[in-house]
Amino acid sequence: MSHTEQDREATHPDIPPGDEFLPGGTVGEGVKSYLVGLGLAALLTAVSFFIARTSLVWQPSIPVALVVLAVGQMGVHLVFFLHITSGPDNVNNVMALAFGVLIVLFIIGGSLWIMGHLNANMMLPMSTIMQMRQ
């Protein structure tokens, strides 16, 4: 345990990492952080709806813009609401988040791989199945 962790344990033994306030910090500053996060989340949501509905944006770039806004939205939620930062007290949180992202990527990749090879693994070709349905 580092010296700063020992000092924190001595002064605030019941506060989990990420919940401690800076010296001189008040509850108002914590509420301000949540309100800034709420404002940014609402702004990103409004912009994504605007981009999806408008004809002012070049049509092929809309999916890319929505993905960028979604990643920004996730960043806002992680930093302002879940308080996951790259600080030394949040290493376990960052590792758990990275593991969760890895699992989700495996599930998405496996699903795409299965769907891509589904036609080759079927007993009858898809064209025969479609003709049988008609």
Class of residue 73 by CB neighbours under 10 A (exposed 0-12, middle 13-18, buried 19+): middle
Q: Whole-prediction pTM value?
A: 0.59
> What's the pLDDT at 82?
84
Q: Quick one: which of 40, 8, 42 has its CA closest to 23?
A: 8
* 98 vs 84: CA distance, rounded Å: 11
pLDDT surpasses 90 at 127: no
* 36 vs 48: CA distance, rounded Å: 18
pLDDT surpasses 80 at 7: no
pLDDT tens digits for 9-52?
Answer: 555 555 555 555 555 566 777 788 899 999 999 999 999 999 99
pLDDT surpasses 80 at 5: no
* 55 vs 45: CA distance, rounded Å: 18
